[in-house]
Chain A
Amino acid sequence: SQQGEEDPQALSIQEGENATMNCSYKTSINNLQWYRQNSGRGLVHLILIRSNEREKHSGRLRVTLDTSKKSSSLLITASRAADTASYFCATGLDSNYQLIWGAGTKLIIKP
């Protein structure tokens, strides 16, 4: 079953702009992770935020987590053409660490 739902399904922006993607989930989690997948490639881990954290940064990435609203957002600042990819959120369940995946947001950065 897929409990993570990314929003929007697709996003197209100009290079240099910021991109924001959202993820909502349904049950109690231990952690939430974001992954990137370039076309035809495997997934690459970007960032993990634990349920007791509210915000985390990694380079141009900023992730927030609101457990009261059961939602997270991924912000990519100063986007580059190389950021064109699909982005997936995955929630680690509190009970058994099982990872539940969303359907992803397809991000296109126009040069």
Chain B
Amino acid sequence: EAGVAQSPRYKIIEKRQSVAFWCNPISGHATLYWYQQILGQGPKLLIQFQNNGVVDDSQLPKDRFSAERLKGVDSTLKIQPAKLEDSAVYLCASSLGPETGELFFGEGSRLTVL
């Protein structure tokens, strides 16, 4: 069974530039999550989708971050414009459903903003 795919693995940009991350969850997983993980910290939920609807985006900085999950499968997370404090690893995870518990994570996309 293929795991959660993310790209790119690494990205370096200048502040005020834009960047997009892509995630393809495990086939059949209805729930998709985007997390931000700053070095030395635990994951922070940015947005949670159930199929193609948003369940929780309370911690998403909506003035600069946007995410979509068209057709309820893969998802894109965009940052525009980027700030220095956005330097982090962006982790995508999926699960069969929020009640099942176990999350499956991708390898993450490491963003460095200069």
* Closest A residue, CB atoms, query B42: A101
Instruction: Assess the B42–A88 pair: CB atoms within 8 A.
Output: yes
Instruction: Assess the B107–A41 pair: CB atoms within 8 A.
Output: yes
Which residues of A from 79 to 111 have beta carbons under 8 Å from B? 88, 92, 96-99, 101-104
* Closest A residue, CB atoms, query B56: A98
Complex: how many Å from CA A97 to CA B52?
18
Instruction: Assess the B107–A42 pair: CB atoms within 8 A.
Output: yes
- Please tell me the size bucket of the interface on A: 20 to 34
Instruction: Assess the B102–A101 pair: CB atoms within 8 A.
Output: no
Complex: how many Å from CA A45 to CA B108?
15
CB distance from A12 to the nearest CB of B (A): 16
Whether A97 contacts B98 in the complex (CB less than 8 A), given A42-B106, A43-B105, comes out as yes
Interfacial chain B residues near A101, Cβ < 8 Å: 42-44
Interfacial chain A residues near B44, Cβ < 8 Å: 2, 101
Set B41, B43, B101: member contacting A48, Cβ < 8 A: B101
Which residues of A from 30 to 61 have beta carbons under 8 Å from B? 31, 33, 35, 40-45, 48
Interfacial chain B residues near A99, Cβ < 8 Å: 45, 103
A sample of 7 inter-chain contacts (CB < 8 A) reads: A35-B105, A40-B110, A42-B108, A45-B102, A98-B98, A99-B45, A101-B44
Interface of A with B (CB < 8 Å)? 2, 4, 31, 33, 35, 40-45, 48, 88, 92, 96-99, 101-104
Known: A45-B103, A96-B98, A101-B42. 8 other contacts (CB 8 A): A4-B42, A33-B102, A48-B101, A48-B102, A97-B98, A99-B45, A104-B41, A104-B42
8 closest cross-chain pairs (CB), A and B: A42-B105, A101-B42, A97-B98, A43-B105, A103-B42, A42-B107, A48-B101, A45-B102
